[in-house]
Structure 1
Amino acid sequence: MNEIRINNFQELHEALERYRKDNRWMFRGHGNADWKLLPKAGRAPFDKTDDERMFRAWQRRSVEFLSPRPGNEWEWLAIAQHHGLATRLLDWTYQPLVAAFFATTSQDNCDAHIYCFKADQIYEKTDGSPFEADTLAKYKPHTVASRIVRQGGLFTLHPDPATPLDKSKSKKDTLELIVIDQEYRKLLPFELSHYGINHSSIFPDLDGLSNHINWFTSNNEYWITKEPGSDGI
């Protein structure tokens, strides 16, 4: 797997240049270098259960909260994933700086990772069941949630959730890695926020706004200027 290490924003910009002219690339941020490319249904303790059975239970009980209801089973699964259910979908984004945000929001004292993936296959016909799909491939949902749109979100679907993507991808798929040095990861969230990538922009609701202001307040010493109106919130 091709790998590049970055230590500042200029190096990050240069690393991302190679992906600019091919919109098939998608990105995923990991705050801990030890995390595997596994959907939640393939991680402990969820890997000990039948993820389809859990999804059916979620689907049956979720109808009271959804109006209008999703148009097909793929959209149901995307909404379940979006709201935290352990599914066989893995989140990605078309926006590399969004991936960088998710890679650096935690306080882990280690390198962070941005995975760059180009899938050879895409699920375009979604009239069947995602649980009958037998190929690891990209899935682009319709507008089922505003956060997914704001984050440039899409998914890979994993027929075997317990097998990491780097082990289950085909020879025609391409996986690359950008490693954010553990020292630089402390600074990168501030630089991303300067360019409009923060909790408030990625999560367009009151929770996102509250998290952004809490983050700003808890890191207030970063900003040297204390003049009225210069807080940047």
Structure 2
Amino acid sequence: MTTESVVTTIPDYLSLVLSISAEWGSRHGDIWYRGIAREDMELLPGVKWRNISASNEESLISGFLINGKSLFKEDVNCQWQLYSMMQHYGLPTRLLDWSKSPLIAAYFALEAENDVDRVVWVMDPFTLNEINMDRREVFVPYKDLKEETNVDPYLPKVLRQDSATNTQPFPIAIEPPYTNRRILAQQGCFTVHGTKSEPVNVQFERNNSDRIRKIKFCKSAVATLRSELTLLGVTIDSIYQDLNSLSSHLINSHK
């Protein structure tokens, strides 16, 4: 079973994160974090938790390509960049967002107005890839062109150059090939999921690995945790990097 800890303040949270980092012998970027606004939500991407079939996934992507091309604001240099863009703009994909920053993950865990416990997952992405690809490295699509590190088989069929069907079963960790201001600000990264609807934490548990942890924020502590994040400068405008979020931050700061 995954080790679970409960914290009620940001200092306690950061102390725990530093303790995990020291235990794992990790540097910045070696540990990934995912904040979730409901404890009962699993570590599954949109296509999986929505139970979207492979054929419907292909239809969604085709619709995005047909109707959205004229709206693209960025140059697209590879299919992974295009797939990341779909995730960024809210299309259900097999990409699951993570961050290299524990504070940013805490923000996402606390963002929604839900009267429930929240959670931040802490993961070693190198161990995930060692489990599922037998390589202790994080893959970079488009740059990793060697056969043994080629992750293109994880792409949906409609985005594959060879039009083959994805047959990869388990998730792996990848660096985003698509970087805009928001992804950079959020220190974003992904797990990309295969054919099986199996949460990320199950990969570690099945292999008796402790390189994933669960940190819970009790609902009674949410107000305190949010206030402490704001004092540290982790606010909606710093996360989303647009004028709408700046306006929201200014309104909230003058309440």
Q: Pick one of 208, 213, 216 that aligns with 2:245.
A: 208
What is the TM-score with the length of structure 2 in the denominator?
0.77
Identity percentage of aligned residues: 22
Q: Pick one of 232, 236, 251 that aligns with 1:195.
A: 232
Structure 1 residue 166: Cα displacement: 2.3
| Equivalence for 1:226 | none
Count of residues paired in the alignment: 218
CA deviation digits over 1:109-129, x for unaligned, max 9? 222100011123233343635
Q: Give the alignment of 1:63-212 within 5 angstroms.
A: 63-119=69-125, 120=127, 121=129, 122-126=138-142, 128=152, 130-131=155-156, 132=166, 134=168, 135-160=170-195, 162-168=197-203, 171=207, 174-212=211-249
Between 18-27 and 96-105, the greater mean CA deviation after superposition? 18-27
Between 82-91 and 104-113, the greater mean CA deviation after superposition? 104-113
C-alpha contact (below 8 Å) 2:95/2:192 kept by paired residues: yes
| Equivalence for 1:19 | 21
Structure 1 residue 68: Cα displacement: 4.3
Q: For 2:167 and 2:212, locate their aligned partners in 1 and report how far apart those are by CA, in whole Å.
A: 21
| Equivalence for 2:5 | 4
C-alpha contact (below 8 Å) 2:94/2:193 kept by paired residues: yes
CA deviation digits over 1:46-74, x for unaligned, max 9? 35863233223212322112244311111
What is the TM-score with the length of structure 1 in the denominator?
0.84
C-alpha contact (below 8 Å) 2:6/2:216 kept by paired residues: yes
Q: For 2:244 and 2:178, locate their aligned partners in 1 and report how far apart those are by CA, in whole Å.
A: 20
Structure 1 residue 133: Cα displacement: 6.7
Q: Which of structure 1's runs of 4+ aligned residues deviate more than 6 A?
A: none
Between 138-147 and 193-202, the greater mean CA deviation after superposition? 138-147
Q: For 2:212 and 2:227, locate their aligned partners in 1 and report how far apart those are by CA, in whole Å.
A: 28
User: Which segments of 5 or more consecutive residues in structure 2 lack a partner in the other structure?
Assistant: 130-137, 146-151, 157-165
Structure 1 residue 182: Cα displacement: 1.6
C-alpha contact (below 8 Å) 2:84/2:178 kept by paired residues: no
Between 93-102 and 4-13, the greater mean CA deviation after superposition? 4-13
Going from structure 1 to structure 2, the CA distance change for 1:51 and 1:194 (only over 3 Å counts) comes to same
CA RMSD of aligned residues (A): 2.3
